[in-house]
Structure 1
Amino acid sequence: MAKTTGVASRLAEALAVVLGTEGIPLRLRAWDGSEAGPKDAPVLEFRSKRALRRILWSPGQLGLSRAYVAGDVDAPGDVFASFAALSSAGKFAVPGPFPPLTAKEIWTLAKTAVRVGAIGPNPAPPPEESKIHRHGRRHSQSRDAAAISHHYDVGNDFYALVLGPSMVYSCAVWNDTADEPDRPNSLEAAQEAKIDLVCRKLGLHPGMRVLDVGCGWGSFALHAAQRYGVDVVGVTLSNEQAGLARKRVADAGLTDRVEIRVQDYRDVDDGPFDAISSIGMSEHVGREQISHYVSQLHGLLRPGGRLLNHAISWNAGPTGPDPDSFISRYVFPDGEMLSLAEMIGALESGGLEVLDVEALRRHYAVTLRAWVRNLEQHWDEAVSATSPGRARIWRLYMAASALGFEDGLTGVNQVLVQCPGGTEPPLRRHEWI
Structure 2
Amino acid sequence: MSLQLLSALGLVLVFAVAMARPVSIGVIALIAAFVVGTVFAGETADEIATGFPGGLFVTLVGVTYLFAIAKANGCVDWMVQSAVRVVRGRPAAIPWAFFALAAILTSIGAVSPATVAVLFPIAMSLAAVYGIRPLLMGLLTNLGATAGSFSPLGIFGIIVNGVMDGNDMGSNPALLYATTFVGSLVAAVVTFFLYGGRGLLRRGSPEQDGGSPAEGTGGGTATVTALDPVTLNAERITTLIGFVVLVIGALLFGVDIGFLAVAVAGAVAVLFPAHAKGAIEHVSWGVVLLVGGLVTYVELLERIGTIDWLGSGVANVGSPLIAALLICLIGAVVSAFASTTGMLSALIPLAVPLIATGHIEALGLMIALSLSSSLVDVSPFSTNGALALANAPEKERDRVYRGLLTFGLAMIVIAPLVSWLAFVVPGWV
**Bigger share in strand:** 1
- Which of the two has greater helix per residue? 2
TM-score (ref. length: structure 2): 0.29
